Amino acid sequence: MEVQETRIQTDRVLTIPNILSMARLVGVPVFLWLILWPAFDGPNVDGWALLVLALSGVSDYLDGKLARRWNQISSLGRILDPAADRLYILSTLVGLTWRGILPLWLTAALLARELMLLIAVGLLGRHGYGPPQVNFLGKAATFNLMYAFPLLLLSDGDGHSWLHMLATVFGWAFAGWGTALYWWAGILYVVQVRRIIRADATAD
């Protein structure tokens, strides 16, 4: 995972891509509330939770595509986009683990990767580097997980229909690939951070 410097093409805050990213952030607490409601003796509203998650995936695709097409890549956008991704993953992990759909070991593995990345970003910041551009490998990991979570939510329950079985099989397949890619991207990123820090030390 290379630390890439992308030319900032606008300093505007209220661009269409940034508004889409902001809307995704607003949807995070809504999604978490919907997914946890059954755990607090509320009605099962998994369908609405899936809709919010699907809309977040569409906006995730659109904000990056529109930013590049309309030359609206911004410093704020480079922060909002990965922040929204990670908050959706975190909220989904909390919700699905609370409801017993995800095992604790998988949640712990994904959270440990996030902690590792947070430390690496902090080290980069201390050396004067901003957050890196999200690259293909990191996006591929996120997409796999964002496919896995709704499928695992669909697989919840005691049903034995073909839809339930397909959701279970493909949900765990995407979860496995997503976790592996998530860690792969994180390790490559840490290696790159280490090289940058060593280069700075040599230059000094």
The structure's pTM equals 0.72
Domain assignment present for residue 98? The answer is yes
Domain assignment present for residue 190? The answer is yes
Domain assignment present for residue 4? The answer is no
Domain assignment present for residue 28? The answer is yes
CATH of the domain at 41: 1.20.120.1760
Domain assignment present for residue 6? The answer is no
Domain assignment present for residue 8? The answer is no
Domain assignment present for residue 11? The answer is no
pLDDT band with cut points at 50, 70 and 90 for residue 1: very low
**Number of domains, the chain:** 1
Domain of residue 152, residue span: 16-203
* Encoded tokens for 68: 């590049």
* Encoded tokens for 178: 């997503």
pLDDT above 70 covers a percentage of the chain that reads: 82
Neighbours of 190 (CB within 10 A): 16
Long-range pairs of 99-102 with CB within 8 A, sequence gap ≥ 24: 99/35, 99/36, 99/38, 99/39, 99/156, 101/152, 101/153, 101/155, 101/156, 102/152
Q: Are 17 and 63 in contact (CB under 8 A)?
A: yes
Domain assignment present for residue 1? The answer is no
* Encoded tokens for 27: 């949807």
Predicted confidence (pLDDT) per residue in 36-85, tens digit: 998 888 888 888 888 888 888 777 777 767 777 777 676 666 777 778 87
Predicted confidence (pLDDT) per residue in 10-29, tens digit: 566 677 777 888 888 888 89
